[in-house]
Structure 1
Amino acid sequence: MTHELLTIGRISVDIYPNNIGVDLEDVTSFGKYLGGSPSNVAVAAARHGRRAAVITRTGDDAFGTYLHRELRKFNVDDSFVTPVKEWPTAVTFCAIKPPDDFPLYFYGRFPTAPDLQIKAAELDLGAIRDAGIFWSTVTGLCQEPSRSAHLAAHQARPRTGLTPGQYTVLDLDYRPMFWASEADAREQVARILPHVTVAIGNDKECAVAVGEGTPDEQADRLLAAGVEIAVVKLGPDGVMAKTRTERVVSAPVPVETVNGLGAGDSFGGAFCHGLLSGWPLAQVLDFANAAGALVASRLSCADAMPTPEEVTALLAERGRLAAGPYATEGATL
């Protein structure tokens, strides 16, 4: 089976508090969810009806069994998910303190984690080459053998330009606790960028990748590095996407924030759905922006990923109708 979206990298069990607005030490009960950004992106795309799979590794333990079960529940192909006997499945705790304080606490990731034990020799390069979209993250470059596996996977991808149907996406998700320095991260990103057609990141992530500057300057540097769509998240000002011939901005979609941690992953899955649908870039961006906002208004990540109908309903409610099969005939953004 050819996958419309194939992601690679982090997976974990997310332990989220049921008590909102308190510090972690004061939480009295928790919920358990599938987590890890590339895995969440696959779930988000599957919610939009896409054939999605993830390449990752778990511990050979009960939490690993749980993650397989959750992936299958969300219609994500788990055939590229394998166990590691030496290391336990990673677990991530967080506190939820709206509107903008969501500290993460990583367990089972130091000195390494199962998903950083992905090996180049074990990759199905044919599946990677043929996937409509291949999605990876900067975190997967932070140590070996994952670093070499990511490079081998990117080298297997064709350079297809902006022809709808096949893209290679790098999520610039820089997390400083996984790196020796920003310079180390920038060096590894520079090795991958020539194999990337789409790069997505916020101001800090783009600064680590290509240096400080305005959003337009950062986007231009990403384009100069070989990327063909540069997506720069603008925080409260929305999100911008830039190609060599086009610049579009999607304004924020206001919601009451409950948990902002999964918004970027929902954005990513919806963005992939729009690319695969062949929509104009402005419509892809607006749809993805609304999908991210919906998850920010909910407690969990994977379990909170919206359907196309929910995204379209939110855009319609805000007077911004989306493109695609659920749009009103002739609607524009």
Structure 2
Amino acid sequence: MNQDAKLIVGLGELLWDLLPGGKQLGGAPANFAVMSARLGNHGVIASRIGRDALGDEARAVLASFPADNKFLQQDDEHATGSVSVTLKDGQPEYVIHEPVAWDFLDYSPAWADLSRRADAVCFGTLAQRHEVSRTAIRSFLQGTSGQCVRIFDVNLRTPFYHAKLLEDSLQLATIVKLNEIEMPIVMSLLGLTQNAGSDEESLLRCARLLLDKFPPQLICITMGSQGSLLVTREAHHRHHGIQTKVADTVGAGDAFTAALVHAYLRKASLALLNEAGNRWGSWVASQKGAMPMLSEETRVEIEGRIQQAQ
């Protein structure tokens, strides 16, 4: 392991997307952990799967990736998480099944030790939908050191979010990442502003309101192919995206988050954070699936382009 490697944890859901054409392994925290590992860190997947065929298959798939799955818990009573995806008039419709194994995350002694050692941990809203997993996630976050970077990847999935969940998560976060569609929803639920727009000026104003009210040090707003906006209390930086031929966007946001955190832990500038996030996000968008194969040649090429942007 690289001596510069950081211990980075993806905490929450691991699930199968059951698509019309087959199934794909995913879940934002798992996607995040895999990309973190690919960037040279000790990326850990902290989730829970069932003792079933989908659980066995998840372990088999993960074995081909560099992420550490030794902290993947096994549940004897609940099934491995899955999402049924159907197409209606060409548009995908989702059913996120419940309850499933990751609704019953357990803050075990092994997880408590992991939380104390973590340099960064990424969590979201979906895995907090059940009281059991919500308690485990909060305990994990509260068990981290004062130096640990806690990333709240908002990732709204109807109907699994509400104002109290958002408020509590914001209080625990160092970095908040959300997209331009989620920002007005979050601001409305928190009662900070009504009818907020998704234009750059409105997003900047909303980010500053969040920084005024909550502890995070950085707000990251992604805008798909239009890039991203990073906002701190002292400055902000806008990136207009990397042009790419999109295969599918699944996992692109998680790759963005992993690259941003990788750079943040190394005290990079806002401009470099934005470049790293957009480069890796656009690469995943150009590939099929959330965890596409990555050659060493491609990794070196993309890292080189990021460094050139300094």
TM-score of Structure 1 vs Structure 2, range by shorter chain: 0.7 to 0.9
Q: Residue type matched to 2:208 in 1? A: D
Equivalence for 1:328: none
Tell me the CA shift for residue 3 of structure 1.
Answer: 5.6
Give, in whole Å, the separation in 2 of the partners of 1:102 and 1:39: 25
Percent identity between matched residues is: 22
Aligned ranges for residues 175-186 of structure 1 at < 5 Å? 175-179=157-161, 185-186=162-163
The answer to whether 1:191 aligns with 2:180 is: no
- The alpha-carbon distance between structure 1 residues 189 and 122, as it changes in their structure 2 partners (threshold 3 A), is farther
Q: 1:13 aligns with which of 11, 16, 38?
A: 16
How much has 1:41 moved relative to structure 2? 0.6
Contact 1:11–1:56 (8 Å) recurs in 2: yes
Letter in 1 for 2:13: R
Query: Residue deviations 1:244-300, cap 9 Å, x none?
Result: 112011111111212112111111221222123332221121111111111111111
Classify the secondary structure of the residue corresponding to 2:275. Answer: helix
Query: 1:190 and 1:229, CA in 2 relative to 1: closer, same or farther beyond 3 A?
Result: same
Determine if the alignment matches structure 1 residue 216 to structure 2 residue 204: yes
Partner in structure 2 of residue 19 of structure 1:
none
Aligned equivalent of 1:163: none
Q: Which amino acid aligns with 1:59?
A: G
Tell me how far apart the structure 2 counterparts of residues 96 and 48 of structure 1 sit (CA, whole Å).
34
Give the structure 2 partner of residue 284 of structure 1: 273
Q: Corresponding residue for 1:125?
A: 112
Higher RCO (CA 8 Å, separation ≥ 6 residues) = 1
Partner of residue 322 from structure 1, selected from 284, 306, 309 = 306
Equivalent in the alignment of 2:235 = 246
Within 1, Cα distance between the matches of 2:296 and 2:220? 21
Corresponding residue number in structure 1 for 2:29: 38
3-state SS of 1:303 partner: coil
Q: Where in structure 1 are there 5+ consecutive unaligned residues?
A: 17-23, 161-165, 180-184, 324-330
**Mean Cα deviation higher: 7-16 or 47-56:** 7-16
Summarize the Cα distance change of 1:289–1:201 in structure 2 as closer, same or farther, 3 Å threshold.
Answer: same
Indicate conservation of the 8 Å contact 1:154/1:192, yes or no. Answer: no
- Which residue of structure 1 lines up, in the alignment, with residue 199 of structure 2? none
- Structure 2 match to 1:66: 57
What amino acid sits opposite 2:136 in the alignment?
A
**Which amino acid counterpart does residue 322 of structure 1 have in structure 2?**
I
Q: Could you tell me which of 161, 166, 169 is aligned with 2:151?
A: 169
Contact 1:287 1:312 (8 Å CA) reproduced? no
Q: Is the 8 A contact 2:103 2:132 kept in 1?
A: yes
Partner of 1:275: 264
TM-score (norm 1): 0.79
CA distance in 2, matches of 1:188, 1:76: 28
Note the aligned Cα RMSD (angstroms). 2.7
Q: TM-score, normalised by structure 2?
A: 0.85
1:230 is matched with which residue? 219
